[in-house]
């Protein structure tokens, strides 16, 4: 739903809810911790719905750099 408004602190809110800390405590995290917890919170939030889990499965598949040869053999040997 597009309201025309942008929530500027959505990442901080996401981290605060995930860690159960205040927004002020999120501001005190160093950059590495902040990015780590942002990633963790995003993955956790996505894993709560089937649509989110599908998104995560697709994201994982797209970041692969080498083929899953075993899975390919299983798939294509069935078709032969």
Confidence at residue 80, expressed as pLDDT on a 0 to 100 scale: 52
Model pTM score: 0.74
Quote the mean pLDDT of the chain.
93
Instruction: For 24-35, write each residue's pLDDT tens digit.
Output: 999 999 999 999
Q: Is the dihedral of CA 53, 59, 61, 64 positive or negative?
A: negative
- CA separation for the pair 35, 19 (Å, rounded): 13
Confidence at residue 77, expressed as pLDDT on a 0 to 100 scale: 84
């Amino acid at each position: 739903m597009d309201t025309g408004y942008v929530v500027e602190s959505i990442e901080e809110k996401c981290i605060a809810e995930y860690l159960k800390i205040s927004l002020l405590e999120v501001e005190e995290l160093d950059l590495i911790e902040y990015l780590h917890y942002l990633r963790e919170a995003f993955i956790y939030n996505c894993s709560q719905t089937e649509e989110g889990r599908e998104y995560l499965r697709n994201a994982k598949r797209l970041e692969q750099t080498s083929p899953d040869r075993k899975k390919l053999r299983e798939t294509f040997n069935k078709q032969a």
